Amino acid sequence: MPVPVPALLFDRDFAPEAGRAITVAPGLQRVTAPNAGPYTFTGTNSFVIGGEQPFLIDPGPDSVAHFEALMAALAGRTPLAILLTHTHRDHSDLVPRLKAATGAPVWFGGAHRLSRPRRSFEINPVARESDWALVPDRTLFDGEILALSDAALEVIATPGHCANHLAFGIRGTPDLLSGDHVMGWNSTLVSVPDGSMSDYLASLVRLQHAGYRRYLPAHGGPITDGPAYAFALQAHREHRNVQVIAAIAAGATRIGDLLKIIYPTLALPLQPAARMTLKAHVEYLAERGQIGLAHTLFGPRLYPLPA
């Protein structure tokens, strides 16, 4: 019998209490930055985990108010390290200020890089939102265990949203810091060449079997049943693949055609993100020989393949 697919229900009722340290589990605090927006929801969630010498995860935007809120949450403690789930600026721009103030090193999954080489004349839509200059003091790798005196984090590589994305499982607990890979308020933006739909789907499957139940994302509130929600996200993206194939079979030849067919009532401010993710779907399907794709000076040209 087919496995029932859980409904993909977004939680947009999260009350972040920006600027306050909120305890979400023993030894784990969340501080939400004041950078709410169409792509950041209620703002970037920073996390402080551990006691005497903690980790600080995803410092967020370069905001004086958020810097002061994080310093208050640290309460005089020096972090063992500043960790990043990835190097988009809404997660990393506060690193230099925090590093100067605390002396803590910064650890993440390597310098920002593309998921595939950029094609001639191709524009990377999220280039300005990416922190290309930031260099880690230590590069983290999949499977590493980062130990504190009272906690330990498992490094889980989750590329897709971008190439160097990591999640952090809190060992001995049900909790996983899922960054932007899994968020409860919306599906994740996948923008090529920065991201990769193939990697994103594979990372969703990886997390479903990682052994953590509650996901704590970098935007929005906790996800109570993370594996079920990740499975629903996977099914949502696979359904979108089916819609793209059907639209191309019906005559769609451009990304704009797909947008009109698949998102006929989408609000104008959200259309650029939808275009980016549709392009990622198109590349994914073309790589698997399910549609035809030609790269032109005027953007991707789409066509059906013979049955």
Q: Where are the domains of the chain?
A: 21-235, 239-303
Instruction: Give SS3 for 89.
Output: helix
52 within 8 A of 28, measured Cβ to Cβ: no
Interval 110-154: pLDDT, tens: 999 999 999 988 999 999 999 999 999 999 999 999 999 999 999
d(CA 33, CA 202): 30
> Cα 56 to chain center, whole Å?
18
Angle between helices 197-208 and 226-249 (to 10 degrees): 150
Six-digit token pair at 121?
């004349």
d(CA 163, CA 130): 11
Q: What is the CATH number of domain 21-235?
A: 3.60.15.10
Largest CA distance in the chain: 66
Interval 182-204: pLDDT, tens: 999 999 999 999 999 999 999 99
pLDDT of residue 75: 96
- Architecture of the domain whose range is 239-303: Orthogonal Bundle (1.10)
- Whole-prediction pTM: 0.95
